[in-house]
Chains A and B, each alone.
Chain A
Amino acid sequence: MSDWSRRLRRRLRALRQGAALDAELDEEMRVHVELEAEELVRSGLTPEEARRRALVAFGGIERYREAHRDARGTRWLEDLARDLRRAWRGLLHARAFSGAAVLTLGLGVGITTAMFSVADGILLRPLAFPGEDRLVTMCESFPGATAGWCGISPPNVEDIAVRTRTIAAIGFGRSDAVRLRTAASSELLDAGIATPGMFAALGVKPERGRALLPGDVTGHEGSVAVITDELWRGRFGAAADIPGRVIDLDGRPVTIVGVMPPGFVVPQYDWIQLWRPVPFDPRDEQNRDWRGFASYARLRPGVGMAAARADLARVAATLRSEHFATTAGWGVSLRPLRDLVVGGTRPLLLVFMSAVLLVLLAACFNLANLLLARAASRTRELSLSAALGATRGRLVRWLLGEALVLSLGGAILALALGWGGVHAFKLLAPPGVPRLDEVRVDARVWLFALAVTVGCALLFGLVPALRATRLDIADALRDGARTATGRKGRLRPVLVVAELALAATLLAGAGLLVRNFRTMSDWRPGFEQEHLTTFQLFASHDRYADEAAIVGLWQRVEQALATVPGVVSVGEASAGPVFGGGDGASELRAEGARASLTPVTGEWFDVSPTYFRTMGIPLVRGRGITPQDVAGAPPVAVVNQALARRLWPAGLPPVARITLPELKRTVDVVGVVRDVPPLRPDAAPQPQIFWSDRQFPRGARYFVVRSAVPPERIARLLRTRVAAVDPELTPSSITTVAQLVSNKLVRPRFNMLLLVVFAATALALAAVGTYGLLAYLVSRRTREFGVRLALGCLPRGILTGVVREGLALALAGMAIGAAGALVLGRALAHAVEGTQPFDATSFLASFAILAGVVLVACALPARRASRVDPVAALRAE
């Protein structure tokens, strides 16, 4: 029997059978005294004298009882249990106070738990790849790259793979839809092309068959494919002959060689279900500028990010001198792969996490206020205990015990709110939130909620406890004594002002988002958004292999759509405002007289002659694209005002020419169209160039149809007409531009609502705190009000006096809150596109709301003050 196990067993027994041990000890001591008394009797004393002497000789029984209990080592636990029971009983009596405290704490911690759970699932949890912390991606920087975009070209990846010393495996991939044809059907698959290195880097083993191998990359269209588990089960019914089955992709036979395990997604391309090898030689110099690929690399074991970055910088320098000497600002940077998935949301999530902490702080201040109020009202009770011998430490422990019981109640509420909040978030979150299904409520969340609740309660209960036990006992016990408000009374107003400041900060931030949202929803693009239907069409690579075929196809589709009754005009483009698409930006150089020498980065589009008319974008100079601009005719283009201004600041010359070095294209500018302001409130129109899609055709188009009738009525007909031209052409979801705009507003609306919820919670807490403080102050000054009323003061004067006090608190809160609002505004501007860091109107509006709420919170106490019965007040002592 080892030492500690015996002691542990004795302790457990002492815990469970404390009373029994007490009884045993009592019996032992009783027997001892009896025996001693008997011996003293035998030596000649009377029984009474003997007993008295025996007791004296024995010593202080109570002291030994205590010492015995101390020796058992469970004293502190018994004391704690007793304190908690006492606290529980006391709190049951003061139900209003307990309810308010539990509600406050539960609300604050619940919201915090929900928000942190979400942030944890999205930001902190590692991606589902082995050794995820060693997965990185590489991003090229070049003129015209948009912030947050990350891409790299195949030859660059290959060179990096060969020259770097810190990378174990690297590959790249991108999306590339293909058409799967069976005897019964033909459907467009979400597919992609990749190198075997991508699978090697990600490190996930297929559940069946194999992944791509270096031998699969032949420089031509590949003949193998790897599919996801979802596609295997959904499309192929989990057939056992896969891998090995041959399917028809875009007219070619392709063997499925492997199935990836369930849940396998490639970051950046998480919708892709089928991967084929890249259909070209990755080292082909032609692709040096084609940056439309995402890269995936795994660092060697033991290599840190700093070392990898240094190594990459070295390789990038060699690449720069070899290929990009003339490209200003070219470079390659390294980023953790997780950043690629969540990076965009990180600033916003951090802002929300900070905001929610402010709410929690407000809740804690509220709790402290409540505890202070309660402690102040029990001065007598505490003084009595102190007079009876309780030490200060004992009293503080008792008050903290109450805070602990409250915190447990608050924790239960917080857990319920947290669970509900997380599920509400998952339900209501806008599309595009990464890793949303990885957000869940698990043990870590429970522990977090519990720890925060208890921690806050103890922390914010400590000061009230210390305050309350700083007692002047004689003073407090004296009849009719009222402890002067004096220095004690300053902490509560400070807490209330702090709460108001937090509420003011959050309100101002919410106001900024409200303004941002309203500006976005008031978007005036300069064309009519209603009655404008749009959808995408893809021409199969095999059936329409050459440019003439593609041009012919789109012309036929356009003519077919124009025949639908109610259709006013049909146009197509490679991309457009709101409906998406786009090839990114490219460098544009102007030639000719009066041209600006600095190149401009602009977006390029290929459009049909009817596009601008259909959209309703007017021409401001020259001519648009005409049906005469076909293959063989001189290549022409139309630019928008922004591009014209940048390249020809002095005005468009009669002969104006533009070159795009990356695309090796030169076009003559024949006209200028009006700018379409972007949806983002503070963004300026991008320079844009449009050329004829008959001169530079492509297999994917966005069709826009302007109709005189509501779009829903013609949707089916549009589909039929398209199918009549080619049954394989299935339009992607047919929607209206107005609907697309509305979709784009979902996210800003959600962000706005979330911050509004936080601000409203903080405001409610602050209002309750203000009300509580004022009610308390009024109740203490009843006599003073009675005297003043008796001396002829008007009730209204009293009322305005109280209201003024409340507004003074609000003003102080606003002053501090304004400073906080500036900080929050800056953070929001950084995190949410298009938000202004400061907007006077919305700030003023928020503060007005705060003042209004404080006014309402003052109303009741103020009325009560003005209604004091002077006689009753003066009589009460």
Chain B
Amino acid sequence: MDDRADLLQGTLDLLILKALLLGALHGWAISKRLRQLSDEVLEVGQGSLYPALYRLEDRGWIGSEWGTSPEGRRVKLYSITAAGKKRFAAERTQWALFARAVDQVLAAG
């Protein structure tokens, strides 16, 4: 897990930003959304979200606020910022390029 940490970290950031594009969510909800969208592939290590969330907030791409969940629990809600949206667009392009390059290599003889 450790040697792939950097790659996964960058990808995780991208996924979190995507998950927050449509609205504010708290930690578990983000995890649930990602699982839904990926058909349960991305599951192990749900807790890895939290350091990532702190880092993203540090960089100013998301913001956080304590609020109450529908059930009445005290939860920390994260939302994407304008800078975060820009970052998402840039990262998404990067990822597309990267994925296509990897595919090309794998497809070659």
Contacts and interface: CB of A to CB of B under 8 A. Distances in A.
Interface string A833-864: 00000000000000000000000000000000
Contacts of A34: 73
A58 B46 contact: yes
Contacts of A64: 47-48, 50-51
B86 interface: no
A57 B44 contact: yes
Contacts of B55: 71
A72 B47 contact: no
Interface in A1-42: 1, 3, 6-7, 10, 24-25, 27-29, 31-32, 34-36, 39
Given A32-B28, A70-B51, A59 B45 contact: yes
Contact of A72 (B54, B59, B75, B76): B54
A45 interface: no
Contacts of A7: 58
B75 A59 contact: no
A44 interface: no
Instruction: Tell me the interface secondary structure of chain A in the complex.
Output: helix
B43 interface: yes
A35 to B, nearest CB: 4
B39 to A, nearest CB: 16
A57 B46 contact: yes
B45 A68 contact: no
Given A6-B60, A24-B76, A32 B54 contact: no
A389 interface: no
A61 interface: yes
B44 A36 contact: no
A131 B50 CA distance: 61
A31 B73 contact: yes
Interface in B52-75: 54-55, 57-60, 73-75
A61 B76 CA distance: 18
Instruction: Give the interface centre of B44, B54, B57, B75 by most chain A CB atoms within 10 Å.
Output: B54
Interface string A353-373: 000000000000000000000
A58 B51 contact: no
Interface in A92-140: none
Nearest to B35: A57
A431 interface: no
B79 interface: no
A7 B59 CA distance: 7
Contacts of B60: 1, 3, 6
Contact of B54 (A39, A58, A60, A68): A68
Contacts of B47: 29, 32, 58-61, 63-64
A483 B60 CA distance: 55
A28 B50 contact: yes
Given A31-B73, A32-B27, A36-B28, A59 B54 contact: no
Contacts of A63: 47
Interface size band for A? 20 to 34
Contact of A71 (B32, B44, B54): B54
Contacts of A81: none
B76 A71 contact: no
Instruction: Give the interface centre of A34, A61, A68, A72 by most chain B CB atoms within 10 Å.
Output: A68
Given A3-B60, A71-B55, A71-B58, A29 B50 contact: yes
Nearest to B75: A31
A7 B55 CA distance: 10
Instruction: Tell me the interface secondary structure of chain B in the complex.
Output: helix
A287 B44 CA distance: 101
B58 A36 contact: no
Nearest to A73: B58
B46 A36 contact: yes
Contacts of B75: 28, 31
A25 B48 contact: no
Interface size band for B? 20 to 34
Contacts of A32: 27-28, 31, 46-47
B36 to A, nearest CB: 12
Contacts of B28: 31-32, 35-36
A34 to B, nearest CB: 8
A35 B48 CA distance: 16
A375 B44 CA distance: 45
Contacts of A35: 28
B44 A10 contact: no
A737 B57 CA distance: 86
A594 B33 CA distance: 121
A354 to B, nearest CB: 52
A51 B67 CA distance: 25
Interface string B5-17: 0000000000000
B44 A25 contact: no
A684 interface: no
A583 B47 CA distance: 93
Nearest to B31: A32
Contacts of B59: 3
A57 B43 CA distance: 7
Contacts of B45: 58-59
Contacts of A213: none
A25 B75 CA distance: 11
A746 interface: no
B27 A27 contact: no
Contacts of B32: 39
A67 interface: yes
Contacts of A57: 43-44, 46
Interface in B71-100: 73-76
A606 B6 CA distance: 94
A202 B76 CA distance: 72
A1 B58 CA distance: 12
Contacts of A1: 60
A68 B44 contact: no
A57 B32 CA distance: 12
A210 to B, nearest CB: 65
Interface in A185-204: none
Nearest to A3: B60
B50 A25 contact: yes
Nearest to B55: A71
A36 B57 CA distance: 24
Nearest to B57: A10
Contacts of A25: 50
B33 to A, nearest CB: 13
A22 B43 CA distance: 24
B44 to A, nearest CB: 7
A57 B28 CA distance: 12
Interface string A44-85: 000000000000011111011001101110000000000000
B16 to A, nearest CB: 14
Contacts of A59: 44-48
A39 B36 CA distance: 13
Contacts of B27: 28-29, 31-32
Instruction: Give the interface centre of A7, A28, A72 by most chain B CB atoms within 10 Å.
Output: A28
Nearest to B51: A67
A35 B28 CA distance: 7
Nearest to B46: A58
A857 to B, nearest CB: 55
A706 B79 CA distance: 104
Contacts of A28: 26-27, 50, 75-76
B101 to A, nearest CB: 29
A32 B31 CA distance: 9
Contacts of A36: 28, 31, 46
A841 to B, nearest CB: 71
Instruction: Give the interface centre of B26, B48, B51, B55 by most chain A CB atoms within 10 Å.
Output: B51
A71 B13 CA distance: 14
Q: Which 4 A-B pairs have the closest CB atoms?
A: A67-B51, A59-B45, A64-B47, A32-B28
11 contacts: A10-B57, A25-B50, A31-B26, A31-B27, A35-B28, A36-B28, A58-B47, A59-B47, A63-B47, A64-B48, A70-B51
Given A36-B31, A57-B46, 4 more contacts: A24-B76, A25-B50, A32-B27, A36-B46
